[in-house]
Amino acid sequence: MSKIRSGPLYDFQMTSFRPAEAPAAPQLRERTDIPDRFKWNLSHIFHDWRGWQAAYDELDTKIAAYAALQGSLAKGSEQLLAAMKLSDDIGQLTYKVWYFASLKYDEDQRDNQVNARRQQVQILFAKASQASAWFNPELLQIPLPTVQRWMQENRELAVYRFAIEDLYRQQEHVLDEKGEHLLSLSSRFSSAPYDAYAALSTADLKHPTIKLSSGAETTLTYGQYRAILATDRNQADRAAAFSQYHKLYESNVNTYASLYHAVMQRDWFHSQARGYRTTLEAALHGNNIPPAVVENLIETTKAGTEPLRRYHRLRKRVLGLATYHTYDTTIPLVDFDRKYPYEDVLDWLPSSVSPLGEQYRTQLRDVLFGDWIDVYENPGKRSGAYSAPVYGVHPYMLLNYNDTLDAVFTLAHEMGHSMHTLLSNAHQPFVYSAYTIFVAEVPSTLSEMLFLEYMLGQATDDRERIVLLQHAIDGIVATFYTQVLFADYELQAHRLVEEGQPVTADTLADIYFNLLQAYHGDAMDYDAQSRVTWARIPHFYSTPYYVYQYATCFASSAQLMKQLTTGSDGERAAAIDRYLTLLKSGGSDHPMPLLQRAGVDLSKPETVRAVVDQLDGLVTKLEGAIQSLG
């Protein structure tokens, strides 16, 4: 709770296969040649590096002052309040000091001088972590009723009620001093399985070269593999790429199985040590998420796979394929070469959010036309896209806009994050301004959904309509169905360990292959090498039980979209008010109650079924557009 933090960076870089919908990107320009209106203005944080250095020095002083408060909390409410306020002061200053250096570095990552300053802040973060480590154990030594009485008597301290009581909620799984010390020693080895996986999959990986039907030879990196699957219309080329790429994992499958087994044994060890009944319960406890949420997500999704299968059957027919495999799932259904200039989107995006009300639309326009967005690629600039929540200033957005449809939806996605940050920061005290990943992807995904509806309404060309619909459907497949399948896999694999069952490469392959068949049925022709696909999923090794949140966010967005765009005027107005209240609530409560107040209950099957219904409707629209095209 009191740990000093830099705040989240909301990236739009989730692993998925996105088809290439547009022609080549605009010509790369030097940063100095890009007009200022397309570049962010970091002087809103500090005017120059001298201002940054002064803030850095102030932050260093405050961190030392925080460390000096150790041993004072039991003296009374004023001492606890002083620690909470100083923690907030440090946190707010941290946002500015970190992001000024970090965003400046992302403009050109070849600048070693700026990188040195960025590393300087990271070193200070390590110091801050040590300076704040005393707080939680010391506070937990004070009986909760005593602290609750202090909060009742002190209105300023009462602001921190949720944060303080949530720390006590987790106390039951905190060990004594010796136990915590032992676990802290064991944590040194926690990342070893992932580190080994990363080395095996990157540093030690020897990428093969394949010859395509065009006669061209290409080194099969992951990027090139994805590009072939998304753009090469020759099925034999896609099949060859799939086969060669998966041989890399096939040849080391027993090593990958041992590494993943180590991940699961580590998770089970920590879960048992802290008194959790299962690894899933341990993973969800921090956000107070009932395990039934994940179990309901998996069960309801499995029961709603027919629209997914229908889509793949349609793709097989349209692409004219005798057999249809996993490597055929991302090739565009039609060729389409429209460009989407950034200046055009400046009008479209505000119009797309009209269902959220005039005030929201006006605020979004202010973001678009402010100097908060770094739009175009330049040499040395960080790749991808993100929204950086600089508390006390405003969100900044990094793009690498290239006139493609994917770039347009990336802008809509990051704008959802930025509007969430803007509203949360405006209505919450600092301690509750940040929001969890469980909620974070809801407004970003909803922003994409609203933009899709707008673009479909404006489209006059059947090919464009098909491209838009495929983009939306592929998003549901990648962000919802695939992530639920992954969550299903993780849960089944971890349960083997919890039950003391052996875990081998064959065991893991059987689980994954059976899930592929359960989700796709007869809509897919299955390759033996699909059995090793599990071995290449980084999230399994790095962040177990993480991917389900992509799916829950998508399900929440689908339910909200339905409420915002259907029903009577009064019902839609109430839905808008609930949704905006969610954005304004930040992290002031656990994610489940926040979403429930917005009209989304993830413990109920109908919330998940909203995604199934949405996909079903989009596939029907796609069928109509294809028929219209002839």
Which CATH number characterizes residue 68's domain?
Answer: 1.20.140.70
Q: Is the pLDDT of residue 24 over 90?
A: no
CA atoms within 13 A on the CB side of 349: 31
Q: Is the pLDDT of residue 417 over 50?
A: yes
Assess contact for 93 and 59: CB atoms under 8 A: yes
Contacts of 6 (CB under 8 A, 6+ apart): 94, 95, 98, 99, 125
Pairing mode, if any, of strands 394-401 and 373-376?
parallel
Do 286 and 169 share a structural domain? no
pLDDT band of residue 5 (cuts 50, 70, 90) is very low
Phi, psi at 203, each rounded to 5°: -60, -40
Token pair belonging to 487: 């969550």
Burial 245-277, CB ≥16 within 10 A → b, else e? bbebbbebbeebbebbbbbbebbbebbeebebe
Looking at residue 265, its pLDDT comes to 97
Give domain status of residue 109, yes or no: yes
Assess contact for 473 and 618: CB atoms under 8 A: yes
Q: Is the pLDDT of residue 433 over 80?
A: yes
- Mean pLDDT across 542-555: 91
Looking at residue 460, its pLDDT comes to 86
Do 197 and 168 share a structural domain? no
Range 176-181 contact pairs with CB under 8 angstroms and sequence separation of 24 or more: 177/137, 179/273, 180/137
Token pair belonging to 386: 């993100």
Q: Is 380 left (phi over 0), alpha (psi -120 to 50) or beta?
A: left
Give domain status of residue 102, yes or no: yes
Across the chain, mean pLDDT equals: 91
Do 164 and 64 share a structural domain? yes
- Mean pLDDT across 596-617: 94
Looking at residue 14, its pLDDT comes to 33
Give domain status of residue 68, yes or no: yes
Q: What CA–CA distances, in Å, run from 276 to 116, 231, 617?
A: 42, 47, 41
Do 226 and 105 share a structural domain? no
CA atoms within 13 A on the CB side of 79: 14
Q: What is the DSSP letter of 598?
A: T
Looking at residue 186, its pLDDT comes to 81
CA atoms within 13 A on the CB side of 97: 25
Q: What CA–CA distances, in Å, run from 608 to 38, 134, 303, 484?
A: 39, 42, 10, 11
Domain count, the chain: 2
Q: Is the pLDDT of residue 1 over 70?
A: no
Looking at residue 26, its pLDDT comes to 63
Looking at residue 364, its pLDDT comes to 97
Q: What CA–CA distances, in Å, run from 515 to 26, 235, 298, 534?
A: 41, 24, 11, 11
Assess contact for 469 and 503: CB atoms under 8 A: no
| Residues of the domain holding 129 | 40-174
Helix (H/G/I), strand (E/B), else coil: 95:
helix
Q: Is the pLDDT of residue 23 over 70?
A: no
Assess contact for 416 and 146: CB atoms under 8 A: no
Give domain status of residue 382, yes or no: no
> pLDDT above 70 covers what percent of the chain?
96
- Mean pLDDT across 550-577: 94
Give domain status of residue 98, yes or no: yes
Do 327 and 272 share a structural domain? yes
Contacts of 572 (CB under 8 A, 6+ apart): 355, 563, 564, 565, 566
Do 134 and 66 share a structural domain? yes
Looking at residue 4, its pLDDT comes to 36
Do 124 and 224 share a structural domain? no
Do 206 and 279 share a structural domain? yes
Q: Cα separation of 357 and 556, whole Å? A: 20
Do 273 and 170 share a structural domain? no
- At 438-461, the pLDDT tens digits run 899 999 999 999 999 999 999 988
Q: Is the pLDDT of residue 18 over 50?
A: no
Measured in whole angstroms, the distance separating CA 487 from the mean position of its chain's CA atoms is 15
Which CATH number characterizes residue 270's domain?
Answer: 1.10.1370.20
Helix (H/G/I), strand (E/B), else coil: 386:
strand
Burial 349-369, CB ≥16 within 10 A → b, else e? bbebbebbeeebbebbbebbe
Token pair belonging to 530: 């699909």
- Of 544, 577, 610, the position where a domain reaches its end is 544
Q: Is the pLDDT of residue 173 over 90?
A: no
- At 31-69, the pLDDT tens digits run 999 999 999 999 999 999 999 999 999 999 999 999 999
Do 50 and 78 share a structural domain? yes
Do 329 and 198 share a structural domain? yes
Give domain status of residue 133, yes or no: yes
Diameter of the chain measured on Cα atoms: 79
Residue 281: which of 168, 436, 173 has the closest Cα? 173
Residues labelled as active-site residues: 414
> pLDDT above 90 covers what percent of the chain?
80
- Mean pLDDT across 220-237: 90
Give domain status of residue 160, yes or no: yes
Other C-beta atoms lying within 10 Å of the C-beta of residue 558: 25
Q: Is the pLDDT of residue 184 over 80?
A: no
CA 534, 538, 543, 545 dihedral sign is negative
- At 256-298, the pLDDT tens digits run 999 999 999 999 999 999 999 999 999 999 899 999 999 999 9
pLDDT band of residue 221 (cuts 50, 70, 90) is confident
- Mean pLDDT across 15-25: 38
Q: Is the pLDDT of residue 482 over 60?
A: yes
Residue with the bigger pLDDT between 437 and 414: it is 414
